[in-house]
């Protein structure tokens, strides 16, 4: 009886802490939404979270390294913009098509990528990102080259027109939350366990009857889908895109966010996107040294936090639980 009372009291205390955390986050978000610029930063955090979650499925849970995700990001942004401007397709539909087009290119790249490992795979993805960047730069008739695409229309959903950053934030936040929840459910499913098996040892996974190539291709395609969707969101939020925003530096930013937040973790993409997006905006006066700062972040993570910020949080929770005599489940 006393044990039941103790468990019930502990459950109530945990719920109180959770409710308090939600209230604090809600108050901070409400305060930031008072201004246009802070709400824009929140939108960037949500967009980056979606893109980095896609990269986490590929790299964190399947072990396939990609330094060319800016290519999928660009495909999503340009496809949605061109469809909505030149063909007059509704923005919602153009975004969905853009995500599917990115997914198609993910399939195309994944077929040769599934046979490569380590630095060979990295070189392939870098080449893909450069090819997309060059294509966007030279096709002036379709993409306007370095002049970019102007006056990208706002999203119109069920008669409601998204004009302000605040309105966009609520949409992007809802999608980001759904993406994080979907990733969690995916990883806990049979499909997710197969991805982890492929990451740990592809030869052993093949020996157990897992189609390694199939799961690698599907992970690549799903990752491209989410990154392309994030690119479409970015284009319609900003209203202007040019090739300069989709070079290799953007791919490095996504990878840095993932490593800093923590790979193969539930909230790693959110943590990394939030911290580095804010840091990037604060350090706007040091644009020349942006890549140097990201390199320093990567070195700090590799030497001091190999599992990222989420790994540090997990270690702290494990130590607290150990002191209380509880068992802690290992990370995937």
Residues 229 and 101: their CA atoms lie apart, in Å, by 10
- Cα–Cα distances in Å, from 27 out to 34, 41, 172, 294? 11, 16, 18, 30
Cross-strand pairs, 156: 161
pLDDT tens-place string over residues 23-80: 555 556 655 566 678 888 989 999 999 999 999 999 999 989 999 999 999 999 999 9
Inter-residue contact 61 to 199 (CB < 8 Å): yes
210: helix, coil or strand?
Answer: coil
Whether 81 contacts 233, CB under 8 Å:
no
pLDDT of residue 8: 47
Among 35, 37, 33, 28, which residue's Cα sits nearest to residue 277?
37
Residue 287 per-residue DSSP state: G
Sequence-ordered list of residues with C-beta below 8 angstroms from that of 14, at least 6 positions apart, any chain: none
* HSE-CB for 118 with a 13 A CA cutoff: 0
For 288, the token pair is 């020349």
Q: Is the dihedral of CA 140, 143, 149, 151 positive or negative?
A: positive
Predicted local confidence at residue 109, as pLDDT: 93
| Residue of higher predicted confidence among 7 and 231 | 231
In angstroms, the CA 152 to CA 78 distance is 10
Q: Which pLDDT belongs to residue 96?
A: 96
- Cβ partners under 8 Å of residue 18, min gap 6: none
Q: Per the structure block, which two tokens stand in for 193?
A: 């366990």
Bigger pLDDT: 103 vs 329: 103
Question: How far apart (Å, rounded) are the C-alpha atoms in residues 50 and 65?
Answer: 18
Is 232:76 a contact under the CB 8 Å cutoff? yes
Q: How many CB atoms lie within 10 A of CB 103?
A: 23
Other CB atoms closer than 10 Å to residue 290's CB: what's the count?
Answer: 15
Residue 326, classed as helix, strand or coil, is coil
Beta carbons within 10 angstroms of residue 112's beta carbon: 12
What's the CA gap between 116 and 99, in Å, rounded? 25
As a whole number of angstroms, the distance between CA 24 and CA 13 comes to 17
3 state DSSP class of 14? helix
Dihedral of alpha carbons 21, 23, 26, 32, sign: negative
Percent of the chain with pLDDT over 90: 48
Predicted TM-score (pTM) of the model is: 0.87
Closest C-alpha among 69, 108, 122, 82 to residue 228: 69
pLDDT for residue 5 is more than 50 = no
- pLDDT computed for residue 30 by the predictor: 57
**pLDDT greater at residue 16 or residue 172:** 172
Which region among 19-33, 192-206, 301-315 has the lowest average model confidence (pLDDT)?
19-33
When mean pLDDT is compared across 41-55, 180-194, 219-233, 281-295, the lowest value belongs to: 281-295
Region 123-129 average pLDDT:
93
| pLDDT, the chain, mean | 85
**Residue 218 CA to its chain's centroid (Å):** 17
């Amino acid at each position: 009886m006393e044990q039941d009372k103790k468990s019930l009291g502990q459950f109530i205390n945990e719920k109180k802490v959770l409710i308090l955390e939600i209230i604090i986050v809600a108050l901070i978000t409400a305060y930031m939404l008072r201004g246009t610029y802070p709400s824009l930063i929140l939108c960037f955090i949500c967009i980056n979270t979606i893109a980095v979650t896609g990269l986490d499925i590929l790299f964190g849970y399947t072990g396939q390294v990609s330094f060319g995700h800016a290519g999928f990001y660009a495909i999503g942004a340009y496809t949605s913009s061109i469809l909505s401007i030149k063909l007059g397709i509704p923005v919602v539909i153009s975004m969905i098509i853009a995500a599917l087009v990115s997914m198609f290119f993910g399939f195309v790249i994944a077929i040769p990528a599934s046979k490569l490992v380590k630095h060979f795979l990295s070189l392939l993805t870098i080449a893909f990102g450069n090819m997309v960047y060059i294509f966007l730069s030279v096709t002036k008739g379709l993409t306007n080259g370095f002049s970019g695409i102007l006056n990208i229309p706002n999203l119109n959903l069920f008669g409601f027109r998204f004009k302000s950053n605040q309105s966009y934030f609520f949409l992007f936040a809802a999608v980001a939350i759904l993406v994080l929840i979907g990733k969690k459910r995916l990883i806990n499913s049979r499909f997710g366990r197969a991805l982890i098996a492929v990451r740990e040892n592809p030869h052993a996974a093949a020996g157990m009857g897992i189609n390694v190539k199939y799961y690698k291709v599907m992970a690549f395609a799903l990752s491209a889908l989410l990154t392309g969707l994030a690119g479409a969101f970015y284009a319609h939020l900003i209203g202007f895109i040019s090739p300069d925003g989709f070079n290799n530096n953007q791919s490095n930013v996504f990878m840095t966010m993932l490593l800093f937040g923590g790979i193969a973790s539930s909230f790693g993409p959110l943590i990394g996107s939030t911290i580095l997006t804010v840091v990037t905006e604060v350090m706007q006066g040091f644009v020349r040294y942006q890549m140097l700062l990201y390199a320093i972040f990567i070195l700090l993570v590799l030497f001091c936090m190999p599992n990222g910020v989420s790994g540090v949080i997990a270690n702290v929770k494990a130590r607290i639980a150990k002191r209380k005599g509880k068992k802690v489940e290992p990370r995937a």
